[in-house]
Structure 1
Amino acid sequence: MASILPLTETDPIDALLSAHGLRRTTAARLVLGWLLAHPDTSYTHAQLQLALVGDDAEAPGVTLDRVTLYRLIDRLTQVGLLLCRVDASRVRRYQAMPTSVHAIPHFECQSCHRDSPLAGALRANGVDLERAAESAMQALKALGYQGMSMDFAVRGVCADCATGTTPPQGVPA
């Protein structure tokens, strides 16, 4: 008779990677872990690479070269774990995809290129926005489209740039 081993708690990042058919490499855990730990911030490839170099305490000895990081980001985006946005300057920005989110409203500053979530600012109209997104997704699904996500972007100049004040520390420019 086989002995039953007690269930151990699974690492949530490993579980996410496995559930999406990805290998649970140290690099994949590092990148996904970083982005999940900073859910309201979007990063360019270069910003993410710099952030991960500075965060070597998480995975000492792991170096992510530019190409490996590009490929990993691409795979994470393809399976829906990351959201990729292309801003008005055609720069790709990545952030963790919140579970069961079809649309993430955000504001892109054309001056400092900060990307700010608008969920709090649109609280009163959030239900209408979610209804509109869900309606559009259902219409496209009925036409046979699959694996969709929606991106609502408002572009302009943020209040900090408009008034000449400096953006808060820690916000990627």
Structure 2
Amino acid sequence: MTVSSAHPARTDPIDALLSAHGLRRTVAARLVLGWFLAHADTSYTHAQLLSALQGAEPDKGVTLDRVTLYRLIDRLTQVGLLLCRVDANRVRRYQAMPESVKAMPHFECQTCHRDSPLAGALQGNALDLEAAAEGALQALKALGYQDVSLDLAVRGVCADCASAAAGSA
């Protein structure tokens, strides 16, 4: 007598993403991609990510050194699962890149160097931004460019730093 399961085996969405992009489904790859997907509105430098991941999954026996992590985030960026931005100080920051997003607007504070997503702040103009990004990407593709993405960085002084500077003056 064969017992059939009423619930077929479900594919882990992280495994599915890794497989769909031609990447191995290692414990480390699942950990890193899972972290980015769980913190999709946050960008991390390599050092910040390494610090956040150390001890994140001790029960799975994964240890990440900085070189392994660098190679992993490089591969995830190459296949379009992560967005890599270089800020004004030439520091690389990585963030989950949703497939449906054409532009990821963000604000870089020149004082505290905090990187903040602007999608919520620009909600009223989101459709205009998406249309402009799509137009620019299509124009580049028509010229023969491949695997293009758009990064919209606004730089200045955040409200917190501006308030602190005004308070100390």
Distance 1:139 1:60 in 2: 46
Moved over 6 A (4+): none
Match of 1:12 in 2: 13
Q: Establish whether residue 92 from structure 1 lines up as the match of residue 84 from structure 2.
A: no
Match of 1:26 in 2: 27
Distance 1:29 1:123 in 2: 31
Match of 1:170 in 2: none
- Paired residues for 1:141-152 under 5 Å: 141-152=141-152
- Matched length: 162
- Deviations, residues 30-55 of structure 1 (Å, cap 9, x unaligned): 00000100000000000000000141
Runs of at least 5 residues in structure 2 that lack an aligned partner in the other structure: none
The structural deviation recorded for 1:61 is: 2.2
The structural deviation recorded for 1:67 is: 0.5
Q: Establish whether residue 119 from structure 1 lines up as the match of residue 96 from structure 2.
A: no
Match of 2:43 in 1: 42
The structural deviation recorded for 1:6 is: 6.6
Distance 2:109 2:119 in 1: 16
The structural deviation recorded for 1:127 is: 1.5
Give the aligned residue type for 1:72.
L
- Paired residues for 1:124-135 under 5 Å: 124-135=124-135
Distance 1:61 1:24 in 2: 15
Q: For residue 155 of structure 1, give the secondary structure of its aligned residue in structure 2.
A: strand
Taking structure 1 as the reference length, the TM-score comes to: 0.88
Taking only aligned residues, the RMSD between alpha carbons, in angstroms, comes to: 1.8
Give the aligned residue type for 1:117.
P
Which structure carries more relative contact order (alpha carbon 8 Å, separation 6+)?
Answer: 1
- Deviations, residues 49-88 of structure 1 (Å, cap 9, x unaligned): 000014134x532110110000001000000000000000
Distance 2:161 2:80 in 1: 32
Distance 2:92 2:133 in 1: 22
Runs of at least 5 residues in structure 1 that lack an aligned partner in the other structure: 166-173
Q: For residue 27 of structure 1, give the secondary structure of its aligned residue in structure 2.
A: helix
- Deviations, residues 105-148 of structure 1 (Å, cap 9, x unaligned): 11011111111111111112221111111111111111111111
Match of 1:168 in 2: none
Q: For residue 95 of structure 1, give the secondary structure of its aligned residue in structure 2.
A: strand
Task: Choose 1 or 2 for highest CA Rg.
Answer: 2
Distance 2:41 2:102 in 1: 16
Distance 1:35 1:125 in 2: 26
Q: Establish whether residue 66 from structure 1 lines up as the match of residue 66 from structure 2.
A: yes
The structural deviation recorded for 1:7 is: 3.3
